[in-house]
Amino acid sequence: MNKMKRIFVSAILITVCVFKTFSLEQVYLDETRPIDERVEDALSRMTIEEKVAMLHAQSKFSSAGVPRLGIPEFWTTDGPHGIRPEVLWDDWDQAGWTNDSCVAFPALTCLAATWNPDMAMLYGKSIGEEARYRKKDILLGPGVNIYRTPLNGRNFEYMGEDPYLAAKMVVPYIQGVQSNGVAACVKHYALNNHEANRHTTNVVVDDRALYEIYLPAFKAAVKEGGVWTIMGSYNLYKNQHACHNQYLLNDILKGEWGFDGVVVSDWGGTHDTYQAITNGLDMEFGSWTNGLSNGASNAYDNYYLAAPYQKLIREGKIGTQELEDKVRRILRLAFRTNMNKNRPFGSLCSPEHIEAASRIGEEGIVLLKNENNILPINMNKIKRIAVIGENAIKMMTVGGGSSSLKVKYELSPLDGIKKRFGDKAEIVYARGYVGDPSGEYNGVVTNQNLKDDRTNEEILSEAVEIAKQADVVIFVGGLNKSSYQDCEDSDRKGLGLPYNQDNVISKLAKVNKNIVVVNISGNAVAMPWVEDVAAVVQAWYLGTECGNAIASVLSGDVNPSGKLPMTFPVALSDVAAHAKGEYPGKLRNDGTDIVDCNYSEGIFVGYRWNDINRITPLFPFGHGLSYTKFKYGKPVVSSNTMALDDKIVIKVPVTNIGDCIGAEVVQLYINDLKSSLPRPIKELKDFKKIKLEPKQTIEVEFTITSDKLAFFDDNKHEWVAESGDFRVLIGSSATDIRQTVRFKLSDDSIIASK
């Protein structure tokens, strides 16, 4: 270009910019215009500096808006069980606000255990309202990483081992949150299935397992839930960190699924400017944050997607195409959230939220065992109840990592039991064991003094004494939110209960047969004493209303209807990842700190593994008892053959044959009798939760379409349903199949959607 020409072009560009900046018609502010038009208008008004500023954090939990144009900052919050208390601008310590206590909802494992998508909607709507009231735009949750090993310290924040169940539960959660004009941020995408070496683990997994097991819940979040943001995980896949991963982000998420939202890095999950630019990351959070005292004037300027990005553009080493795409996505997010003038105002700690927390907790508690109908507790026969165990009194909403909360209140199991039974029976408490008396996370303290200076023998013998004299013993133990238990950044060291609890339970069971074990955990635990106790209740982390929810189930005010979202194995060697020796992976021999973790069990995760290896679990996936019983009648099928694009309707009558009202989760599994690639013996493909009065029958209807029969053919890179015989297994758990139906798929079909 000659000099005159250059001056001419520059003059035109400047005129366009000036015109745009001062243009009277601010299309981007006009809510009647389509979002994409508003995005283009806003984009055209922004300088490169303003664009880059939107791509990275400006504090621990916020990113910049465009002050000149009135485009607000984004405020994020953990997630996923309640709204995290305010921390300092540039530090994890508490900001010291007094208006930031929240309702703690039950942990996501409990939500999954309800097997009730209506509960997920209620959860999402309620937590979204809390986020909105606290002026947050992005809620960092829910998490849907598949339960591959019971050692994973973060399983309590996820939704179990089955991709279909997790997908069904995540969609309404997202819709509920986003109905508030608050973005859900589904995490941790993808393959973050344990915490050990979380920043350096490179997952090696075949495409079938990736598409059939590890991705479906994320895909449902995007395609059915319409989620607005997604968080990249810490680990690597195909040797690239998941936060800037060509395969996961560009090819699958944005390519195959057409995600039009924002990819947010996990805090400190970004490692490379060039990859962050080109491999699908949109917003970077938390790499290093001491921007107020150390280093450059503002450390956030040195983030991978900050000054280093601008430098590459300025030096002409990279164009602005990726930048424009990222900013378009972020602006779209703004119009969906903080620039949506019609979004509701939200509410905090409302009676409705407390009620929601308590309902979800009650529906998620799983009755694992109930010999001689010891539960519900019959108050006509009981004069004295012994409550034993640290978890009966320990606050569980503080700890566990980023999901730690500062709650308005948390009712302990002991207080819930006292409140419910205290006027009819004497309630005596003994500790039984001392686990972890501490109670602090990032400056939030429980204010509980759980120190006990007695010897273990003294503590145990006190418990045995009170157990001897009680009509019923309720042992409340399990795990807690300390490191190496149900806690971020570390995994459990084994399947067993910590703090010698097995011994305590066995000793108590010797002196009193009427012992009920309430296990509080987000993970399966070994139960070597299971034959010696009368009942076992899986109670998860229930949050604010913990004590009430447990007491409602123990008393029978609520008939338990939760079902396990994961298998409880007898031993770790029964779990595929451990049987294969593929946990936590192997350190590479090349001088790097990369640990390769080969998911060599492929698609055979959880009950799929048990089925092909004929392993009997301690408690199977989908298991959960009730105080009543359900009878499954003979199913009626609309046809015994199914053509491509056709469907089959199956109706199965289910009757409550007991004498109290109760709810059952009727589960439908598919068994492909012959296929060109190995398939699991059964796979969950539908379920319905129904509530029945005594003697009532409900006809449960399921529709089978060919997508429910398909597997991912990694050669074709397509979902394929092959012609041939199938069995439909209808049951009350993965090992309690009550009815089967056989039918034939007459044609092969390729299911379009990846």
Footprint on this chain of ligand BGC (rule: CB under 6 A): 78-79, 140, 187, 266-267, 402
* DSSP string of 442-485, one letter each residue: TTEE--------S-HHHHHHHHHHHHHT-SEEEEEEE--SSTTS
Nearest distance, CB of residue 157 and ligand BGC, angstroms: 8
Q: Which is nearer to ligand BGC, 347 or 442 (CB)?
A: 442
Query: Residue 242 or 526: which CB sits closer to ligand BGC?
Result: 242
Q: Are the C-beta atoms of residues 565 and 621 closer than 8 Å to each other?
A: yes
SS3 content of the chain, % helix, strand, coil (to 5): 30, 20, 45
Which DSSP string do the residues of 384-438 spell out, in sequence order? EEEEESGGGT---SS-SSTT---BS----HHHHHHHHHTTTSEEEEE--S-----
Rounded CA separation 421/415 (Å): 10
Q: Report the residue number, 116 or 233, with the smaller CB distance to ligand BGC.
A: 233
Give me the least distance between CB of 269 and ligand BGC, in Å please.
8
Report which residue type is found at 522. Answer: G
What is the spatial distance between Cα 77 and Cα 753, in angstroms, rounded to a whole number? 33
DSSP conformation class of 187: E
Contacts of 459 (CB under 8 A, 6+ apart): 430, 431, 432, 433, 434, 452
Burial class (CB in 10 A: 0-12, 13-18, 19+), 460: buried
Residue 91 tokens read as 């530090």
Q: Is the dihedral of CA 363, 364, 370, 376 positive or negative?
A: negative
Report cis status (omega within 30 of 0) of the bond before 67: no
Beginning with the edge strand found earlier in the chain, give each strand of the sheet holding 749-751 in spatial order.
Answer: 711-713, 718-721, 749-751
Q: Toward ligand BGC, which CB reaches closer, 140 or 515?
A: 140
At residue 601, φ and ψ (nearest 5 deg) are -75, -10
Q: How many CB atoms within 10 Å of residue 295?
A: 11
Nearest to 584, CA basis, from 61, 299, 193, 28? 193
Taking the complex as a whole, the smallest distance from the CB of residue 57 to ligand BGC amounts, in Å, to 10
At position 6, the amino acid (one-letter code) is R
For ligand BGC, the closer CB: 291 or 622: 291
Question: Is the CB of 78 or the CB of 410 nearer to ligand BGC?
Answer: 78
d(CA 609, CA 618): 14
DSSP state of 533: S
Number of Cβ within a 10 Å radius of residue 643:
14
Q: Work out the burial of residue 651: count CB atoms within 10 Å of its CB; fewer than 13 is exposed, 13-18 middle, 19 or more buried.
A: middle
Closest CA to 301 of 288, 282, 317: 288
Closer Cβ to ligand BGC, 187 or 578, answer by number = 187
Closest distance of CB 278 from ligand BGC, Å? 24
CB of 541 to ligand BGC, least distance (A): 16
CB within 8 Å of 219: residues ≥ 6 apart:
167, 257
Tell me whether residue 140 or residue 476 sits nearer to ligand BGC (CB atom): 140
Say whether 707 is catalytic: no
Q: Angle between the 35-45 and 321-336 helix axes, to the nearest 10 degrees?
A: 130
Classify 542 as helix, strand or coil: coil
CB of 79 to ligand BGC, least distance (A): 6
Catalytic-role residue among 100, 266, 486, 686:
266
Choose between 112 and 365: whose C-beta lies nearer to ligand BGC: 112
Torsion sign, CA atoms 463, 464, 467, 469: negative
The two tokens of residue 440 are 């602090």
Q: To the nearest whole angstrom, how small is the minimum distance from the Cβ of residue 101 to ligand BGC?
A: 18
User: Closest CB to ligand BGC among 267 and 719?
Assistant: 267
- Could you give phi then psi for residue 682, rounded to 5 degrees? -150, 150
Considering the complex, state which of residue 214 and residue 726 has its C-beta at the smaller distance from ligand BGC.
214
Closer by beta carbon to ligand BGC, 149 or else 404: 404
What secondary structure letter does DSSP report for 65? Answer: -
**Min separation Cβ 138 and ligand BGC, Å:** 10
Q: How far is CA 509 from CA 106, 353, 514, in A?
A: 29, 38, 8
Return the CA Rg of the chain.
Answer: 27
DSSP at 694: T
Cα–Cα distance, 190 to 205 (Å, whole number): 11
Closest to ligand BGC by CB, 61 vs 621, is 61
Locate 582 and state its tokens: 């593929």
C-beta of 141: minimal distance to ligand BGC in Å? Answer: 7
Find the Cα–Cα–Cα–Cα dihedral 7, 9, 14, 19, rounded to 10°. Answer: 140
Alpha helix segments (H runs only) across 280-348 = 307-314, 321-336
CB 339 within 8 A of CB 74: no
Minimum CB separation of residue 39 from ligand BGC in Å reads 26
Minimum gap (Å) between residue 187 Cβ and ligand BGC: 5
Q: What does DSSP assign to residue 358?
A: H
Tokens matching residue 467: 């157990």
Which are the catalytic amino acids? 266
